[in-house]
Structure 1
Amino acid sequence: MNPGNHTATEPLCELTEGMPIVVGGDRIVRVTAELASSFTDGDRLLTVPSTGALLHVPASVGRVTEAAVGRAAAAFADMGAVSDQAVTAFFETFADRLADDAIFAPIAMANAADIAAAQAKSRSTTRLVLSDTMRSDMIDGLRTWAAAPSGRDQVVDRVEHEGWLVELQRAGLGVVGFVFEGRPNVFADACGVIRSGNTVVFRIGSDALGTAEAIVEHALNPAIEAAGLPDGAASLVAASERSAGHALFSDQRLALAVARGSGAAVAQLGAVAQGAGVPVSLHGTGGAWIIAGDSADADRLEAAVTASLDRKVCNTLNTAIVLRSRADELVPRVLAGLAAAAASLHTNPKLWMHESATGLVPDSWMAEAAIARAEGNVTEPGAEPLDETGLGREWEWEGSPEIGLAVADDLAQAMSWFNEWSPHFVVSIVADATDEAEAAYQGLDAPFIGNGFTRWVDGQYAFDRPELGLSNWEQGRLFGRGGVLSGDSVFTLRARVHQSDPSVHR
């Protein structure tokens, strides 16, 4: 065969039950009857090589998504002519409209409807509620971007030659595709990419779609228009189907794909983007660890546990490790901190015990209790056994604070457990001795390390920068081990030459 010849392709118009689909170059997956019957002419089929999953994108969803990306791509082409003052005005107007009670009223109504619909389906609403605090954080975040320098056209390097010079200047990267779970505040965070000259396309979880559409109608679009930004500078994919995220991340017009949400869903989205050749930053696996060192202060430990369990997000305490030398004293303090967190939420705690903690947890913890789950209160044991692999399980709790507990023989074993089973994300080492704290810092493989509560890990809270996500080891490594991915960190560099001597040649 002539290697210069290429096999012609033709559209995939239908699927048949049992039809073989090659994935990963060396495996075959068979089309199910359900997929075959639902696939029609114009639909798309995406594959995930790592799992063999076949993802169906209906034509209607594809059209909505392609249109949103098209608007954002056209807007990016016009962003070079948009002044920094206009971008500032956009953020200020967006914030002002969210702060106006009359304008915010229909957004609040839409959010209440989303919450009621999610509750009717026994789905979690902890991240869905657009509370007064969340609203305030959105407004503060937008005003932070209004006050921030753009960085566009900033010269980051300059090399002078005889008769000419070359400069490296910061510039917008392009269209950023953003898929996130049902947290309405993330909507405002992601607009930060506009500050550095980018445009953005959102796809939000179906539970929060009504809230997002209300924000677009009453605050976002009016702010874009008032500031004179190009239409589509921030676009929402108005589709509730999960496949809209797959369609978005497979669009090669994206300069960057960012995903936030549950680990499995985020990993799948990442695989779709990588298959399309789109750079991706994933922010899915969460759950923080606390390790109580041999020199731990008991009061500090208990306070850190309680303060790390006020709500379930990615930086919430997930696993607590106590050293055997202090276990008799410190395990009760971990339990007290967990109980205090539950009491503040007017519910009961949930504990998972590694076999190393056997005999250190009072029998009273094993009693049946009402545990607040997404579907409502469920009667189950307050404490249950946990194998070693379970140390890395993320507890997606609803109302009842939930953690895993283990007792390590020494600091080396505690660090080994973290490095093997954790998501390599957030860890707190509670230790008063400088040498012990430093040994933990050097030995623990995590980008975010503290010595108290874990909930400090947040772009806006810690660094005064609203975050798109927190990078850990899950292909979010824009900053080496990890870091805060924020709007002003999404940029590229352009080289620009100034030639003063027209006779310069090579």
Structure 2
Amino acid sequence: MEKTLSLNDQAKAARLAANELIGLSTLEKNKALQEMADALEHRQKLILSENKIDLANGRNKNLSSAMLDRLMLNEERIHQITNGLRQIAALPDPIGSGLMEMKRPNGLDIRAVRVPLGVIGIIYEARPNVTADVAGLCIKSGNAVLLRGGSEAINTNKIISSILATAASSAGMPEGAIQFIESTDRGAITELLHLRKYIDVIIPRGGSSLIKYVVENSTVPVIETGAGICHAFVDKSADKEMAADIIVNAKTSRPAVCNTIETLLVHQDIAKDFIPFIVAKLAACNVELRGCERTRAIYPDMAEATEDDWSTEYHDLILSIKVVDDINAAIKHINTYGTKHSEVIITNEYTSAQLFQQKIDASAVYVNASTRFTDGFEFGFGAEIGISTQKLHARGPMGLNALTTMKYLINGNGQVR
């Protein structure tokens, strides 16, 4: 019987794998990615069987329909996962690419090139596609990865990670390059956060409570991702039909993901006309609505929004609505309650669009388009390891380049200082 490695030993093995990955060619990494995609396709029935177990357990735990949707896999979603791996293989390899080059007056040649971060630990919740996306991005960017998924998807994640690790190893990747932490105990997260000797960065993907815990307890550097209290602001000049299409898409297409909107802000000049119009559209999609006092004066049947609603990521078909005086009030509200993820203004005024994009503090700021586009695939990155909401190292959808750092290469001919 194969012995289960301790978390410390897993991290140590990842460090050894990272030391080997850095020397692999683009051709070798792309071959591994193609074989990883093929392996998932060939073992699709087994993956779906394990996913059914997780879905049944989720229903028994009364997970919301939105959370079950995040957890659920089908043939189409597995095809999307494998297509994502193949797209990563087709992308340019960032490793070794030049960032700058100069020759100093003393004759030193100085270059800066991209290199892998090393070992990445990722903590995520009930989204099995993350397992494959992250593994693929890490292999292509020359990083080893430790995956710690949520208990809701434990069976699905275990089988996907096992298939990927076996395929990668068969294709020549070092043992330990892709590893899954099977323990669902929270203590495993705490231990992971203190393995600074082996791990270079921790990336949490999930709700605000998970991210807060990781940031406050990790001795390993952290890149914050995922928490998404996103807003749509309907300006006084907005096209009503366009606004409705964007709002319905941004709220209902996948309500449990981080780039869905949680609050709708409406300019007071159009509120009396627009609010009944959008309420009818959202009601048809079974969205529960909560409104401020001014909103409820227009539509009294709506539930009252509390102060907590403005800072809540619902992960569900729930939307809060607030009437604001003008664009400046909308910007103030967003910068107060937003999580620096994705925000949108619907407007026909160029100056309003410019002001909104200039003043809003977020990683992605849209004019007349759904926030649901904040995604590595939609941005042309093949996949993403997360949406960074911080400002250091990486921001927004994190593709291959975000999983690299830089190294200076200096060539001389005997210079001394």
Cα displacement string for residues 121-163 of structure 1 (whole angstroms, at most 9, x for unaligned residues) = 1124221111334212211211111112222222322222455
Whether 1:208 and 2:127 are equivalent positions in the alignment is no
The aligned residue for residue 357 of structure 2 is: 441
Q: Whole-Å Cα distance in 2 between the matches of residues 269 and 320 of structure 1? A: 30
For residue 298 of structure 2, what is the amino acid of its counterpart? L
Amino acid at match of 2:72: V
Q: Which of the residues 23, 33, 39 maps onto 1:81?
A: 23
Structure 1 residue 435: Cα displacement: 1.6
Whether the 8 Å CA contact 1:478–1:485 is kept in 2: the answer is no
CA distance in 2: counterparts of 1:446 and 1:164, whole angstroms: 40
Structure having the higher strand fraction is 1
Query: Does 2:400 correspond to 1:487?
Result: yes
Q: Which of 280, 287, 305 is 2:222 aligned to?
A: 280
Matched, 1:113 2:53: yes
CA distance in 2, matches of 1:240, 1:156: 41
Question: What residue identity is the alignment partner of 1:271?
Answer: E
Query: What are the within-5 Å matches in structure 2 for residues 335-414 of structure 1?
Result: 335-340=279-284, 342=285, 348-361=286-299, 363=301, 383-397=302-316, 401-414=317-330
Distance 1:181 1:472 in 2: 17
Does the alignment pair 1:148 with 2:100? Answer: no
Q: CA deviation at 1:110?
A: 0.5
Which whole-Å deviations, capped at 9, do the CAs of 1:312-370 have from their partners, x for residues lacking one?
21111211111111111110222133123x2xxxxx3211111121221153xxxxxxx
Distance 2:338 2:407 in 1: 39
Cα distance change, pair 390–262 in 1 and its aligned pair in 2 (3 A): same
Indicate the structure (1 or 2) with the bigger Cα radius of gyration.
1
Return the letter of the residue paired with 1:468: I
Question: Aligned pair in 2 of structure 1 residues 456, 337: CA closer, same or farther (>3 Å)?
Answer: farther
Residues in 2 aligned to 1:164 and 1:408: alpha-carbon distance in whole angstroms: 59
Q: How does 1:207-226 map to 2 (within 5 A)?
A: 207-217=152-162, 219-226=163-170
> Could you tell me which of 358, 366, 373 is aligned with 1:456?
373
User: Structure 2: any 5+ residue segments left out of the alignment?
Assistant: none
2:142 corresponds to which of 184, 189, 197: 197
**Letter of the aligned partner of 2:124 in structure 1?**
F
Amino acid at match of 1:205: G
Letter in 2 for 1:257: I
Q: How does 1:38-57 map to 2 (within 5 A)?
A: none
Instruction: Give, in whole Å, the separation in 2 of the partners of 1:268 and 1:402.
Output: 25
For 2:21 and 2:369, the matched residues in 1 are separated by: 43
Gap runs ≥5 in structure 1:
1-59, 343-347, 364-382
Looking at structure 2, the residues matched to 69 and 245 of structure 1 have their Cα atoms a distance apart, in angstroms, of 13
Kindly indicate whether the alpha-carbon contact (under 8 Å) linking 1:190 and 1:467 is maintained by their aligned counterparts in 2.
yes
Structure 2 CA distance for aligned equivalents of residues 483 and 402 of structure 1: 24
Letter in 2 for 1:96: D
Q: Tell me, what secondary structure is at the counterpart of 2:62?
A: coil
**2:411 is the counterpart of 1:498:** yes
Q: Report whether the alignment pairs 1:314 with 2:258.
A: yes
Secondary structure of residue in 1 paired with 2:68: coil
Sequence identity, in percent? 26
Contact 1:354 1:388 in 2 (8 A): no
Distance (Å, rounded) in 2 between the aligned partners of 1:301 and 1:494: 46
Offset of residue 255 of structure 1: 0.7
Q: Secondary structure at the match of 2:209?
A: helix
The normalised TM-score by structure 1 is 0.76
8 A contact 1:71–1:235 mirrored in 2: no
- Matched residue type, 1:170: R
- Measured against aligned partners, the alpha-carbon deviations of 1:142-185 in whole angstroms (never above 9, x if no partner) come to 11111122222223222224554232222112100011111010
Which whole-Å CA distance do the structure 1 matches of 2:94 and 2:400 have between them? 11
- Looking at secondary structure, tell me which structure has more helix per residue: 2
8 A Cα contact 1:477 1:483, kept in partner: no
Counterparts of 1:205 and 1:150, CA distance in 2: 30
- Point out the more displaced range, 286-295 or 462-471: 462-471
Alpha-carbon separation, structure 2, partners of 1:329 and 1:97: 54
Shift of 1:292: 0.5
Q: 1:80-121: per-residue Cα shift (whole Å, max 9, x none)?
A: 332221111111011112223xx1111110011011112111
The one-letter code matched in structure 2 to 1:458 is D
Higher relative contact order (CA 8 A, sep 6+): 2
The reply on whether 1:234 has 2:174 as its aligned counterpart is no
Q: Taking structure 1 as reference, are residues 151 and 384 closer, same or farther at Cα in structure 2, changes over 3 Å only?
A: same
Give 3-state SS (helix, strand or coil) of 2:386's partner: strand
